[in-house]
Amino acid sequence: MLKGWLSFHIYIGLLTLLIVPMHAGFKFDLNVHTLSFVLMVIVVISGMFGAYLYINYPVKFTKYGYELLYAEFDDEINKLIKQMHSISRNKSQFFVQKCDEAISYGLPKGQVGWQLVFGSVRKYIPSQSDYINNVQNYMSRIPEKERKDFQRLTVISLQKMELQNRFVSQMRIKNILDAWLYIHLPVSFAMLIALAVHIVSVIYYNGFSMFLP
Residue 13 and residue 37 in one domain: yes
Residue 172 and residue 185 in one domain: no
Which pLDDT does position 125 carry in this prediction?
A: 61
Residue 87 and residue 158 in one domain: yes
**Reported confidence tier of residue 69, pLDDT bands at 50, 70, 90:** low
What digits encode the pLDDT tens for the residues 96-153?
Answer: 999 998 888 766 554 555 565 555 555 556 677 777 888 888 888 888 899 999 999 9
Residue 170 and residue 188 in one domain: no
Burial 156-193 (b: 16+ CB within 10 A, else e): bbbbbbebbbbbbbbbbbbbeeeebeeebeebbeebee
What digits encode the pLDDT tens for the residues 31-51?
Answer: 888 999 999 999 999 998 888
Residue 75 and residue 158 in one domain: yes
Q: Name the domain count of the chain.
A: 2
Which pLDDT does position 65 carry in this prediction?
A: 47
Q: What is the 3-state secondary structure (H, E, C) of 8-72?
A: HHHHHHHHHHHHHHHHCCCCCCCCHHHHHHHHHHHHHHHHHHHHHHHHHCHHHHHHHCCCCCHHH
Backbone angles phi, psi at 93, to 5 degrees: -60, -40
Residue 167 and residue 200 in one domain: no
Identify the domain containing residue 141 by its residue range: 67-176
Query: For the whole model, what pTM was predicted?
Result: 0.63
| Residues of the chain above pLDDT 70, percent | 80
